[in-house]
Amino acid sequence: MKKFLLLCLFSFVGISAFAQGFANETVNGGGKSSSNYSSAPVKFQGYVNASALASTARLGGLWGYGVGPGIDVSAGIMLFDHFYIGAEAGFQAMFEKYQKTDIVYGTTVVIDIESISMNIPVGLNLKGYITRDKRVNPFINCSVGALFAGNEDFSDFGFGGMLGQAGIGVEWKRLSVGVGYNMMLPRLGSIHHGGYLKIGFRFGKN
């Protein structure tokens, strides 16, 4: 988790330097800006994202995989048109499958075990935009927080561990698409690795 946070920090420092240099070049160049964005240094912004998730999974001593849909909502502030920080919450339904090998009457049998995990991630979302005045604007995305999880009827719902995401995307007007790495550090057990695909909508003042 420490390496993940350092990666996010270094990425945003790099974006900061690039964006500042790009802004200075635009201003000093004397060219006309085609930006439709407000010059206010701080603005309310938010995002709604629908996602497809895939990850390794673990049930007891068995390893498997999980896939499923998710949705998350983030609300916060945009700083100087390039940097976003906000609180984020969401919901994920992961359909998990495991395989167990057993010996039955001297014959090796592979048993499929299926389960459904309901997850509620809560945390901090950061975005850094490389440009904001182009037709298509690339950005980096980073989220870190806690994961509350339970089975399909939420009978054992509780703290499930820590969650982290890091990825890249592009935004056209208010619509965005992004891909990235998804990591979960369970309360007990090993790190789960996976990925995500997100399609989102940005709301708030331009």
pLDDT in tens, 92-140: 998 988 877 777 676 776 677 888 888 899 999 999 999 888 889 999 9
Name the percent of the chain lying above pLDDT 90: 44
Query: Residues 178-186: what's their mean pLDDT?
Result: 91
- Predicted confidence at residue 186, as pLDDT, reads 79
Residue 35 banded pLDDT, cuts 50, 70, 90: low
pTM: predicted TM-score of the whole model, two decimal places: 0.75
Query: Residues 137-150: what's their mean pLDDT?
Result: 93
- Using CA atoms, how far apart are residues 147 and 159, in angstroms rounded to an integer? 6
Dig out the tokens for 166 from the structure: 């890091």
In 3D space, the residue among 201, 204, 162 whose CA is nearest the CA of residue 50 turns out to be 201
- Using CA atoms, how far apart are residues 113 and 96, in angstroms rounded to an integer? 8
- Using CA atoms, how far apart are residues 120 and 149, in angstroms rounded to an integer? 6
3-state SS class at 19 = helix
Residue 84 banded pLDDT, cuts 50, 70, 90: very high
List, in sequence order, every beta strand (DSSP E) within the chain.
Answer: 42-59, 62-79, 83-104, 107-129, 137-151, 158-172, 175-186, 192-204
- Predicted confidence at residue 122, as pLDDT, reads 96
- Predicted confidence at residue 32, as pLDDT, reads 42
Check pLDDT > 90 for residue 14.
no
To the nearest whole number, what is the mean pLDDT of the chain?
81
Structural contact between residues 71 and 50, judged by C-beta atoms closer than 8 angstroms: yes
Residue 24 banded pLDDT, cuts 50, 70, 90: very low
Task: Please count the CA atoms within 13 angstroms of the CA of 185 that sit on its side-chain side.
Answer: 11
- Predicted confidence at residue 62, as pLDDT, reads 76
Expressed in angstroms, the distance from the first to the final Cα of the chain is 33
